[in-house]
Structure 1
Amino acid sequence: MAHLQNNQKILNRIKRLQGQLNSVEKAVSGGETACIDILQQVAAIKGAITGLTNELIEEQLTQHVLPEGYDEAELDRFLKLLRKYG
């Protein structure tokens, strides 16, 4: 997926995830943040990873799997289903 290096949306998601992970590390290392607050941060990271995964799946489908001229409405229905249950 060499084309991903030009996908700013995906790169931004990764950078936000890095920031969130760094924040959790600092919170745990500092020892002053309540466990519940750290759990909330981890839950946010989990959601962000799910979002990144969905973006990567969409990229894989549109760039490498689906034939040229695929039905975009059908892809949208599939991606909505994936987001709902993924």
Structure 2
Amino acid sequence: MSENELASARKLVVEAAHSRGTHLVAIHVEEIETAPEAFHDLLAVVMQEAERMIITPGIQHLGVAGDPSSVRQRLESNGITIVVSG
């Protein structure tokens, strides 16, 4: 992603959290060189929260852990709400 695309994605995530009245704990950005490190860090944070929610700018962002649809299904089956903001 370019810097402009990253800024736009962050804005979408922040706006989605705000519109749902959800406290945004962190934004994790995956780096190609270290993937899927940020995804694992994200899951560690989410599992500590009472409201388990991941807001993503697009379902394809879950692809770092496999097929995005399958990843979404696995996360939701573990009680994590997935919100696609874009």
**TM-score with structure 1 length normalisation?**
0.31
Bigger proportion of residues as strand: 2
Specify which structure has the higher proportion of helix. Answer: 1
TM-score (norm 2): 0.31
> Looking at CA atoms only, which structure, 1 or 2, has the larger radius of gyration?
1
